[in-house]
Amino acid sequence: MNTHAIVLDPTAEDRPAERERCLRPESLAGLTVGLLDISKPRGDVFLDRVEERISGLGARVKRYTKPTFTKPAPVDLRHEIATTCDAVIEALAD
């Protein structure tokens, strides 16, 4: 049984906005796919191979790099990817 009827909320009391996910493309042919390197070691090795594979599927590839993996991607970079690419693949690390 509690001894305190009302306690104050320690959270930000916000609710995340829900957005529909984009549908997965049935084919990459003719689509522009962004490959985002987060600047961790060997991320480029992974993305080089991904570029080879999806280029072979007919996708146009655009490469992007975050300034540092320790911070979120800058707003301008996110905007550029969102407005120029149909899909994006982000390479994590190590």
Partner 1 sequence: MNLAALEDDHEAMFDQGWTDGLPVVPPTEARVARMLEGTSRDAHEVVCLIPPNLAECSVEKVAVNAVLAGCRPEYLPVVLASVEAVCSDEFNMHGVLATTMSVGPILVVNGPLASQIGMNSGINVLGHGNRANSSIGRAVQLVVRNMGGGAPGGVDRATLGHMGKQGFCFAEDETGSPWTSLAEERGFGPDLSAVTAFCGEGPRLVVDQRSRSPESLTRMLADALLGAVSPRMVMGLDAMLVISPEHMSRYRDAGWNRTRFTEEISALLMVETDGIVFGAGGIEEGIPEGLAGITVPKFRPGGLLVVHAGGPAGLFSAVIGGWLNGPAGSEPVTREVIP
Q: Which residues bind partner 1 (CB under 8 A)?
A: 1-12, 14, 67-68, 70-72
The bridge status of strand 32-37 relative to strand 60-65 is: parallel
Closest contact distance (angstroms) between CB of 15 and partner 1 is 11
C-alpha distances out from residue 13 to 5, 7, 8, 9, 10, Å: 19, 14, 11, 8, 8
Sole residue written with tokens 């985002």: 36
Q: How far is the CB of 5 from partner 1 (least distance, A)?
A: 6
Shortest CB 48 distance to partner 1, Å: 18
> How far is the C-alpha of 86 from the C-alpha of 35, rounded, in Å?
11
Name the residue nearer to partner 1 (CB basis): 19 or 24: 19
Closer to partner 1 by CB, 8 or 22: give it.
Answer: 8
Q: Which is nearer to partner 1, 16 or 56 (CB)?
A: 16
